[in-house]
Structure 1
Amino acid sequence: MSVWSFDYRPHRRFVATAEHSAQVWRLLLGIVLAAAIFLALSRMLISTVFTVLEPGARSTLIADGSSGQTAGGMLLMLFQLGLLAVTAAIVVIMVHKRRPSTLIGPLGLAARQFMAVLAILAILIVVLTILPPYGYGDDSGALERNMGLGRWLLLLPFALIAVLVQTGAEEIFFRGYIQQQLAARFRSPLVWMLLPAFLFGIGHYLPESAGSNAVTIAVWATVFGLLMADLTARSGTLGPAMAVHFVNNISAMVLTSTPDEMSGLALYVLPFGIGDEAAMAAWLPVDFGFMLVMWLAARLAIRA
């Protein structure tokens, strides 16, 4: 089947397990419960971490956890977001009376699709790294080393696990839970694709740190959500979306990051920060292009 096919029949199988509890009130109740459960679990996580820290280190960790500028703060942030998966699992059991594994789709198929997309994206990253251009513009300067290679390699296994947990949890919540429940109730993709993507974009709206680029970044995240919704509908599992999200965040958090936001695990940082409006505005179109190429590569990997 063509890479451009929009045959979403696999999506109907994906959402079939949600059809017996597809009432809108259940979804609204689930989202409210999810917010409350996530906050409660986050407090439990932070309290648990605090028990092993000296009093003076606690305020530092809280500050680092909000900006992600240290390795400890970044790991805390990522694992905290991973609680979204636990939250979604609790909600589908309590409100929708079904197994949490149904949020992902057939697990064997999801795993195979995840690995297929991961493999093609790994090849894509290598090719893009080898091919020119190698800089970020004539006046932007080169990438700057954020930490020593030895320390980065020691942190790498923990970083990979944390990013996998974070990206997997976000896909389970937005494309698994919200998209699945909406699609079980509404046939139109304008509902089950747009609404979860819009909520995902709102979560990336950061006017305090991004300035005038905040709207563009939120639009980027919304488009990303739409593309992940398409991959989920095309494949019938969360496997491809999880793989793309994982590779995207590894690139943006573990390989190269901005120096002022979520740089605690990155080997390199860009020569400009998220608050540098002119430089970020120039770089975001490149990021849009990279996102589209990854989406097309993933579609190529799962075509049948």
Structure 2
Amino acid sequence: MFDTQPGAYSAHQRLVDAARARPQLWRLLVGLALVGVVVTVLNFVLFGLVSTLGSVAWAQSLLAGASPTAMLVLLASFAFVTFGVWVAARSLQGRTLNSICGPWRQATSQFWTVFKALFVIGFVVTILPPYDMGATLTQNLALSTWLLLLPVSLFAVLIQVSAEEVLFRGYMQQTLAARFRSPVIWLGIPSILFAAGHYAPGAAGDNALLVAVWSGLFGLLAADLTARAGTLGPAIALHLFNNMVALLFISLPDSLSGLALYLLPYDMSDTGMLRQWLYVDFAVMLVSWLTARVALRR
């Protein structure tokens, strides 16, 4: 499925070259620890501020993202991850975010090329049956409210997905590629860690492993797109398209549903309905990845 011949990933070398001056693994490990510290401290300050303005209970409810305000704050807080990566890369490798993301104009152009292609695929999937995902959907937000929030909601989701791409397909993938020649390592390790970050047995129950595998495969496909494109633009577009559908259009009712237009009538731990749709999601994800690859070749 993945063509790991050197020529296939030649565009990736420009990103990797920026990390070659200081490719030591200890720098990556210390850098990741530094990202963790920055994110923890800034989130502590944020939730302390929210608690002061509201209440401790309301601040804690932000993690569930059950209201529009909670979701917007939660998604926007992912900017701390991007800031943490900037601090780590700057202090330990002398790198900038631009060197991690790739040339701005090229990244932006590739982002829009892929996103427009995925939008067409999404429209086609939407008009195909079944129209209710096998169950009756529940209206979560009034259409007028949802449309009013949509611009800022999209921007908040963009902050979230960009942060994850900068960390996993940017900082981690490029540093490992500067140290190891084998794509199995620099494609695989960040994807495994990405999957581990999405393993949540407390919320997903018996579906937790399947959700983690889904996330790991998504990470692998996003890593492949980054290596082929030489920028994070296509991976961010793929990630935005996926999370936009899951967070803004049709969401699960048990978590991160505050900005969704509709809610599914089952939660993440449902081993009947949800598991069926996870398999469908696998197929859609593969089609989306292939679509992105075709779009980039034009």
**Structure 1 residue 4: deviation in Å?**
7.5
Match of 1:60 in 2: 58
State the Cα deviation string for residues 116-170 of structure 1 (Å, max 9, x = none). Answer: 0111111111111112332433xxx222211111111122122111100000010
Which region of structure 1 is more displaced relative to structure 2, 69-78 or 220-229? Answer: 69-78
Alpha-carbon deviation of 1:5? 8.9
Give, in whole Å, the separation in 1 of the partners of 2:117 and 2:207: 31
Question: Superposition RMSD on alpha carbons, in Å?
Answer: 1.6
Identify which of 133, 138, 141 aligns with 1:144. Answer: 138
- 1:130 corresponds to: 127
In structure 2, stretches of 5+ residues that fail to align are none
Return the letter of the residue paired with 1:49. Answer: V
After superposition, residues 18-33 of structure 1 pair within 5 angstroms as 18-33=19-34
Inter-partner Cα distance in structure 2 for 1:119 and 1:70: 29
Of residues 231, 236, 242, the one that matches 1:248 is 242
Return the letter of the residue paired with 2:222.
M
* C-alpha separation in 2, matches of 1:123 and 1:159: 21
Aligned partners of 1:16, 1:295: CA distance in 2, in Å?
26
| 2:180 pairs with 1:202 | no
| C-alpha contact 2:250 2:264 (8 A) present in aligned 1 | yes
Distance 1:4 1:144, change over 3 A: farther
In structure 1, what is the Cα distance between the partners aligned to 2:4 and 2:26?
34
Q: What are the within-5 Å matches in structure 2 for residues 1-304 of structure 1?
A: 7-51=8-52, 53-54=53-54, 57-63=55-61, 65-137=62-134, 141-303=135-297
2:39 & 2:4 partners in 1: Cα distance?
37
Q: Distance in 2 between matches of 1:199 and 1:235?
A: 22
> Cα 1:125–1:5, aligned 2, differ >3 Å: closer, same or farther?
farther
- Quick one: distance in 2 between partners of 1:128 and 1:277? 24
CA distance in 2 between partners of 1:82 and 1:22 (Å): 25
Give the SS at the match of 2:257. Answer: coil
Query: Quick check: 109-118 or 278-287, which moved more?
Result: 278-287
Residue identity matched to 2:9: Y
Give per-residue Cα distances to partners, 1:244-281, cap 9 Å, x unaligned: 00010000000110111111000011121112222211
Structure 1 Cα separation of the partners of residues 149 and 133 of structure 2: 27
**Paired-residue identity, %:** 44
User: Distance between the aligned counterparts of 1:47 and 1:157, measured in 2?
Assistant: 27
Q: Quick check: 2:51–2:59 contact (8 Å CA) kept in 1?
A: no
Structure 1: 5+ residue runs without aligned partners?
A: none
Cα distance in structure 2, aligned partners of 1:22 and 1:109:
25
Asked whether the equivalents of residues 114 and 240 of structure 1 are also in contact (C-alpha less than 8 Å), the reply is yes
Deviations 1:218-260 (A, max 9, x none): 0100000000000000100000000000010000000110111
Hey, what's the Cα distance between the residues in 2 that align with 1:259 and 1:100? 35
| Cα distance in 2 for residues equivalent to 1:163 and 1:93 | 25
Distance 2:56 2:4 in 1: 51
> 1:83: Cα distance to partner?
1.4
Contact 1:61 1:72 in 2 (8 A): no
Please report the TM-score for the alignment, with normalisation by the length of structure 2. Answer: 0.95
CA distance in 1, matches of 2:195, 2:149: 29
Aligned residues of 1:210 and 1:277 also touching (Cα < 8 A): no
The worse-fitting range, judged by mean Cα deviation, of 144-153 and 209-218 is 144-153
- Other structure's SS at 2:253 match: coil
Measure, in 1, the Cα distance between the counterparts of 2:145 and 2:132. Answer: 25
CA distance in 2, matches of 1:289, 1:269: 22
Measured against aligned partners, the alpha-carbon deviations of 1:87-135 in whole angstroms (never above 9, x if no partner) come to 1001011111122211101111001000101111111111111123324
Question: 2:59 is aligned with what amino acid?
Answer: L
